[in-house]
């Protein structure tokens, strides 16, 4: 896909807005679709601050900021999706919502347009059933990581009927926007969430057994394993309610090894959800 190719992003929340930004930074015109124009504009407006932070880290030239933002068109409808080459969907994590979006897009987007979903837990093969037989070969998962503007990894997940040339195209697109794609099978949790939650569950065991404190477990992972951030700091960023929900999904798929620890359930019952509630494993100023 060349820089002239237009991209559609559905959902301007935490993930969608920054996915749109990554495509705009790589030179693409991006249509950013939300349920209302107000939400689409709100998502785009947040990106000015993201670009300022990227400029401070010397990842972009501050003078390019207006040019990059101009490439993103907020919208509340799919009219502008008639000419897009790729759609990345980052709406709510709800099978019906996502299927409805893809079914509608299937009637609007050109036949050659590739559909990608940023789902973290719904099988790609299930979501692909929302499109017709002509599109199904061009349906794929692209699992970005938060914050998208900083995290280089994308898990590229073919569904059962995804064509090999779609996989190759999407891997190339990821590289073109400065990301590093890895190919992963369409299994629950893909690869990264399986690795992550096994570690988080074991961290909670260490804590329950009194082996080490929250601070020391974080220090162990940062200084002993080279992780940029410890498990408790990261759990507080993602939110314990979501962490628990994901562990239930993984437990359903893989059994005992992903059974959430009682301590995590207690934290959720107490509404100690993380940064968003001011208290999680650690305390945060409002
Ligand atoms: N948050 C993460 O760290 C993370 C990481 C990887 C993948 N994901 C996945 O990315 C997707 C989005 O997650 P998020 O954290 O950005 O959620 P979010 O709630 O911040 O954003 C979702 C946005 O989608 C919009 N939306 C809902 N229905 C829509 C529709 N029909 N058309 C257009 N917009 C619509 C909502 O208004 C909302 O702004 C989910 O599938 C999630 O599982 C999230």
Q: Give the pLDDT confidence of 117-151 residue by residue, as tens digits.
A: 999 989 999 999 999 999 999 999 999 999 999 99
Determine if ligand 1 sits within 6 Å of the CB of residue 92: yes
Work out whether the CA dihedral 269, 271, 276, 280 comes out positive or negative: negative
pLDDT at 197 over 70: yes
CATH architecture of 7-183: 3-Layer(aba) Sandwich (3.40)
Does the active-site annotation cover 193?
A: yes
**Ligand 1 centroid to residue 226 C-alpha, Å:** 30
CA distance 41 to 25: 18
Determine if ligand 1 sits within 6 Å of the CB of residue 30: no
Write down the H helix ranges in 130-213.
Answer: 164-176, 192-208
Give every CB contact of residue 88 below 8 A, 6+ residues apart in sequence: 7, 8, 9, 10, 16, 19, 23, 116, 117, 118, 142
165-178 tens-digit pLDDT = 999 999 999 999 99
Q: Please, where in the chain does CATH 3.40.50.720 lie?
A: 7-183
Q: Specify the residue with its C-alpha closest to ligand 1, atom 15.
A: 14
- Cα angle 67, 68, 70; round to 5: 65
Determine if ligand 1 sits within 6 Å of the CB of residue 234: no
CA distance 241 to 78: 32
Which of 13, 79, 97, 154 is the best mutation target for the ligand 1 pocket, counting ligand atoms within 8 Å of the beta carbon and taking the most? Answer: 13
Average pLDDT over residues 257-281: 97
DSSP sequence for 74-97: EESSSGGGGG-SEEEE---S-HHH
CB–CB of 116/142 below 8 Å? Answer: yes
Determine if ligand 1 sits within 6 Å of the CB of residue 97: yes
42-72 tens-digit pLDDT = 999 999 999 999 999 999 999 999 999 999 9
CB–CB of 250/194 below 8 Å? Answer: yes
Average pLDDT over residues 242-246: 94
Q: Which of 18, 34, 118, 120 is an active site residue? A: 120
**CATH number of the structural domain 194-276:** 1.10.1040.10
Q: Specify the residue with its C-alpha closest to ligand 1, atom 27.
A: 91
239-261: burial string, b at 16+ Cβ within 10 Å, e else: bbbbbbebbebbbeebeeebebb
Model confidence band, residue 286 (pLDDT cutoffs 50, 70, 90): low
CA distance 200 to 206: 10
CA distance 285 to 268: 19
Does the active-site annotation cover 143?
A: yes
CA distance 61 to 71: 16
Q: What percent of the chain has pLDDT over 90?
A: 97
Determine if ligand 1 sits within 6 Å of the CB of residue 243: no
CB–CB of 127/97 below 8 Å? Answer: no
**Phi, psi (deg, nearest 5) at residue 283:** -100, 140
CB–CB of 212/203 below 8 Å? Answer: no
**Ligand 1 centroid to residue 91 C-alpha, Å:** 4
Gyration radius of the chain's alpha carbons: 20
Does the active-site annotation cover 120?
A: yes
Give every CB contact of residue 107 below 8 A, 6+ residues apart in sequence: none
DSSP state of 260: P
Q: Please, where in the chain does CATH 1.10.1040.10 lie?
A: 194-276
Residue 147, preceding bond cis, omega within 30 degrees? yes
């Amino acid at each position: 896909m060349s820089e002239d190719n237009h991209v559609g992003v559905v959902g301007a929340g935490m993930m969608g807005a920054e996915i749109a930004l990554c495509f705009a930074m790589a030179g693409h015109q991006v249509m950013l679709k939300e349920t209302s124009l107000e939400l689409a504009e709100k998502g785009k407006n947040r990106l000015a601050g993201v670009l300022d932070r990227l400029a401070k880290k010397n990842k972009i030239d501050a003078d390019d900021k207006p040019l990059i933002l101009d490439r993103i068109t907020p919208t509340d409808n799919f009219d502008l999706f008639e000419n897009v080459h790729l759609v990345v969907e980052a709406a709510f994590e709800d099978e019906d919502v996502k299927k409805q979006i893809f079914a509608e897009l299937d009637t609007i987007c050109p036949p050659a347009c590739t559909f990608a979903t940023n789902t973290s837990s719904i099988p790609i093969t299930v979501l692909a059933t929302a499109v017709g037989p002509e599109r199904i070969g061009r349906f794929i998962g692209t699992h970005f990581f938060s914050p998208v503007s900083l995290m280089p990894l994308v898990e590229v997940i073919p569904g059962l009927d995804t064509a090999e040339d779609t996989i190759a195209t999407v891997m190339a697109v990821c590289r073109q926007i400065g990301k590093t794609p890895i190919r992963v099978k369409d299994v629950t949790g893909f690869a990264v969430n399986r690795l992550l939650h096994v570690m988080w569950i074991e961290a909670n065991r260490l804590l329950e057994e009194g082996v080490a404190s929250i601070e020391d477990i974080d220090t162990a992972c940062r200084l002993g394993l080279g992780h940029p951030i410890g498990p408790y700091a990261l759990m507080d960023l993602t939110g314990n309610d979501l962490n628990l929900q994901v562990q239930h999904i993984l437990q359903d798929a893989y059994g005992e090894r992903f059974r959430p620890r009682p301590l995590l359930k207690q934290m959720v019952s107490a509404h100690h959800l993380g940064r968003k509630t001011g208290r999680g494993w650690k305390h945060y100023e409002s």
